[in-house]
Structure 1
Amino acid sequence: MSLGWLDIPPEELEEVSGEREVWASLLRLLVRTLGAEGLFLFSSLDTDHDFYLSPEEFRPIAEKLTGVTPPVDFEEDVTYDPNGESLTLEAKMQPLLLDSMTKSKDGFLGVSRSSLSGLRSWQSPAVPSSSFSARQFGVFLPPKNKVEVGDTWWVIPSELSIFTGYLPNNRYHPPTPKGKEVLIHSLLSMFHPRPFIKSRFAPQGTVACIRASNDFYYDIVFRIHAEFQLNNVPDFPFWFTPGQFTGNIVLSKDTSHVRHFHLYVPNDRSLNVDMEWLYGASESSNMEVDIGYLPQLELQSTSPSTPSIITDEEGNIIDRRDGNSEPIQFVFEDIHWTSEISHQEAARRLEVTFYPFKKVSYLPFSEAFERAEAEKKLVHSILLWGALDDQSCSGRTLRETVLESSPVLALLNQSFISSWSLVKELENIEKARLHLEKYSFPVEMMVALPNGTIVHHINANFFLDQTAMKPEEDGAPFSFSGGFEDPSTSTYISFLKEGLKKAKEYLA
């Protein structure tokens, strides 16, 4: 599909002079022909900006219209090897702190005990300890084209995007896992019997990164976006969505041995779980939303994987592990890596794979203002009720659209130091007082001087209302004259440029 069918008369383009004017004239014609929404859809799909949709670029829409998706090539499930090594994992949990929920304490907003029944009853792991075949963890091995330290890949790919929307809320039981999904489902089932290894909202799935390597071993870090359904019939669905699961595995390249495995929900933020529940069984029922703090949800290997039997060179069994004997004792050599990156750098690469908007560095609040002072730049600051870079998020629409737009990324990298913050965590920071005064629920975007003075700000709800306006409507705050941009990108660039302009007034 191309734009050639528009049959734009060449003389209409020849009436204007200069490349910029030609583009402006062309884009005005496109808006009149396709409409703002049609042009936005086409430009979003046209990733290489060649005014032509290749079959690969058009595929998301074809799948959406037809309801047919191509089969995914999963690897076959790993068969348990009784003579291979096994790994024992222990699950640990500290339940959600109910007092950390900001809106839904007893009696507030008419929250009933039945709504939170699944949450209140989930006090310990469903399976405290379980053994797995070492070879099952081969699902974490990189594909053949990803063998260098720092490489990332999708273990379980995300199937959602801004075009596909999100998965239904009115579900109780997860779909049957297949291929590589089987192990992830089994691991998360140790916490709760109803894990959904593909979350309702993008980005879904599991991403991994090679952190370290030598001739025999990989250290692979991973990040999982999944959630749990805590309620069962007759109670209405209650979704429990940790911001992320993360961890690492050290395993041999032939998958015969796992030295270490760790999976957990990070607890270094004051809020790390999103919760949503229905007040009815249908998809159109009212939904309540809250966030809270989960102190611990963790899987850890008790020791490296070990074989059940030991044989001599002739294949004779010389030792065996069973329930009536002492465990076989092993001495494991230290692993020395020939190539590695830090855990922090590996985590950053996972983030960028999940969230392209993280190509801009978002610094902690105080550090951002220190950097802005040193580099004589303004601060692009975002205040949120929930986190911006995980699934406990109140800025989902923002990060999936304008913040990953190439023109916005370029302007932020050139002229701003960026930061995002949980509102709850700024209450004791003096310089944040001005930010909190300007904040309105759920997300506020601000441009600030290095001393904390706010020179410009806009609420996310107002921003979304403005970008929904048609370009021909009076008061629509965007124009296509500056380039081939969708309304939200153009509006956000205007917001940032207005902040730069107002900053000059403060500095004059």
Structure 2
Amino acid sequence: MAADVDKNSFDKDSEGRQNGRRTPGSGSWFYRGLWTLLLVFAVPFIAFGIKYYQDARLLRRHEESVRALGAEGIFLFSSLDTDHDLYLSPEEFKPIAEKLTGITPTVDLEEEIVHDPNGETLILEAKMQPLQLDSMTKSKDGFLGVSHSSLSGLRSWKSPAVPSSSFSASQFRVFLPTKNKLEVGDTWWVIPSELNIFTGYLPNNRYHPPTPKGKEVLIHTLLSMFHPRPFIKTRFAPQGMVACIRASSDFYYDIVFRIHAEFQLNDVPDFPFWFTPGQFTGNIVLSKDASHVRHFHLYVPSDRSLNVDMEWLYGASESSNMEVDIGYLPQLELQSTGPSTPSQIVDEEGNVIDSRDGSGEPIQFVFEEIHWSSEISQQEAARRLEVTLYPFKKVPYLPFSEAFERAEAENKLVHSILLWGALDDQSC
């Protein structure tokens, strides 16, 4: 009997399949798969539609802005609109508010600096000799065709913005090497470059630098002693800051560094004027715990006949109406007036033995001489910084006469390069 029932069931199932009928379960799976397939194909179309709508709305908004402001007005607006949404947030409008009111609020630097009240203080002085205008190519024809407003920021920049300033010695810990770069001759990026073949270069139509972050904060503060608008991240490569341990002792490092940064000399309503020194370089001698700075020096090298690149815009276009020139800056440097010193000296019981008087005169100290246990020359440290910034420097570039001597000795050809400026810095 059971066998007959099973046989009848099998025959009915076979008959149902032969007649093209599906069970309810198989039908639900079919429709569920169909809906899933439709959703998979629909999502890209929906995303494309949303993107098309947003782009079309942004285009209409841009056309309305051009009609309302004109080409030069939209150029100024774009320089403030950092997120390119064609709306100015309060943060983006802040430079205009400062310009109109004359009130500059305290910059909100994105780094918490803990000042030790008993820590040491370092005093830096800024010195400057303005750019020699007659070193510029445009000066040869009396700056013919160059508007006065274009060079207004350059002509008026004749002295440092902050001639002297004091710093906590602990702030200079940003110069200390990373954990895996502790040997003499090691190099590392203090401020890494963010430019590559995919990012291209940064825009020209900007007046105010972005808020510095992390290790950029101290470098921004130092360069602000020269001019109030330093850009720590240059528009073009090389970008950033590298350092090298030149010498080491039991308690101290001598660290050589190189920075590529630039200044924006013009402000609204004038068009941007970019002032890009070939490089900033220098050295710092500090204790390995950054509690004491023995020496600090930062400067723009002036041993070449041309050491500054300049670019300025004439119109409201990002890619056109740009003038380029090059010139000579005799002096731009920061230097410590002496080693960092504490504000007071206490004994083992916490009693004040000596302190800085009301006039601010530092306590007089006699510092021990530092004996380096390991060191390389200043020239070798500078070469290693160059190779880090410019990998092509791994191949030696020789002066004209030496190149022919080397070529003859090695039986090789000479590849000659003629440059307007330098190949291994920004003054080109």
Structure-1-length-normalised TM-score = 0.61
Q: Which residue of 2 aligns with 1:306?
A: 341
The partner residue of 1:81 within 98, 116, 137 is: 116
Cα distance in 2, alignment partners of residues 271 and 93 from structure 1: 16
The 3 A distance-change label for structure 1 pair 79 and 322 is farther
Q: Deviations over 1:473-496 (max 9, x none)?
A: xxxxxxxxxxxxxxxxxxxxxxxx
**Aligned partner of 1:283: which letter?**
E
Q: Which residue of 2 aligns with 1:119?
A: 154
Listed as ranges, the matches of 1:35-434 within 5 Å are 76-104=111-139, 107-324=142-359, 326-393=361-428
Task: Note if contact 1:125-1:190 (Cα within 8 Å) is conserved in structure 2.
Answer: yes
Q: Deviations over 1:148-190 (max 9, x none)?
A: 0111110000000122110000000000111100000000000
* Larger mean Cα displacement after TM superposition, 152-161 or 326-335: 326-335
Cα distance in 2, alignment partners of residues 347 and 237 from structure 1: 32
**Offset of residue 283 of structure 1:** 1.4
Task: Note if contact 2:124-2:335 (Cα within 8 Å) is conserved in structure 1.
Answer: yes
Task: Note if contact 1:160-1:204 (Cα within 8 Å) is conserved in structure 2.
Answer: yes
Cα distance in 2, alignment partners of residues 152 and 124 from structure 1: 33
Bigger relative contact order, structure 1 or 2 (CA pairs below 8 A, ≥6 apart): 2
Task: Note if contact 1:75-1:180 (Cα within 8 Å) is conserved in structure 2.
Answer: no
**Offset of residue 367 of structure 1:** 2.8
The 3 A distance-change label for structure 1 pair 385 and 377 is same
Q: Which residue of 1 aligns with 2:48?
A: none
* Larger mean Cα displacement after TM superposition, 153-162 or 279-288: 279-288
The 3 A distance-change label for structure 1 pair 168 and 343 is same
**Aligned partner of 1:365: which letter?**
F
Q: Which residue of 2 aligns with 1:415?
A: none
Cα distance in 1, alignment partners of residues 316 and 333 from structure 2: 31
Cα distance in 2, alignment partners of residues 78 and 325 from structure 1: 23
Aligned residues: 320
Cα distance in 2, alignment partners of residues 322 and 233 from structure 1: 44
**Offset of residue 106 of structure 1:** 6.2
Task: Note if contact 2:110-2:212 (Cα within 8 Å) is conserved in structure 1.
Answer: no
The 3 A distance-change label for structure 1 pair 325 and 160 is closer
Q: Which residue of 2 aligns with 1:482?
A: none
The 3 A distance-change label for structure 1 pair 284 and 375 is closer
| RMSD of aligned Cα (Å) | 1.7
**Aligned partner of 1:270: which letter?**
S
Task: Note if contact 1:272-1:292 (Cα within 8 Å) is conserved in structure 2.
Answer: yes
**Offset of residue 112 of structure 1:** 1.2
**SS of equivalent to 1:336:** coil
The 3 A distance-change label for structure 1 pair 235 and 326 is closer
**Offset of residue 313 of structure 1:** 1.2
Q: Which runs of 5+ in 2 are unaligned?
A: 1-108
**Aligned partner of 2:246: which letter?**
R
Q: Which residue of 2 aligns with 1:494?
A: none
Q: Which residue of 1 aligns with 2:96?
A: none
Q: Which residue of 2 aligns with 1:20?
A: none
Q: Which residue of 1 aligns with 2:47?
A: none
Task: Note if contact 1:77-1:182 (Cα within 8 Å) is conserved in structure 2.
Answer: no
**SS of equivalent to 1:110:** coil
Structure-2-length-normalised TM-score = 0.72
**Aligned partner of 1:290: which letter?**
D
Cα distance in 2, alignment partners of residues 325 and 98 from structure 1: 39
Higher radius of gyration, 1 or 2? 2
**Offset of residue 207 of structure 1:** 0.3
**SS of equivalent to 2:324:** strand
**Offset of residue 318 of structure 1:** 1.0
**Aligned partner of 2:194: which letter?**
E
Cα distance in 2, alignment partners of residues 280 and 120 from structure 1: 20
Cα distance in 1, alignment partners of residues 240 and 400 from structure 2: 29
**Offset of residue 325 of structure 1:** 6.3
Q: Which residue of 2 aligns with 1:432?
A: none
**Offset of residue 368 of structure 1:** 2.4
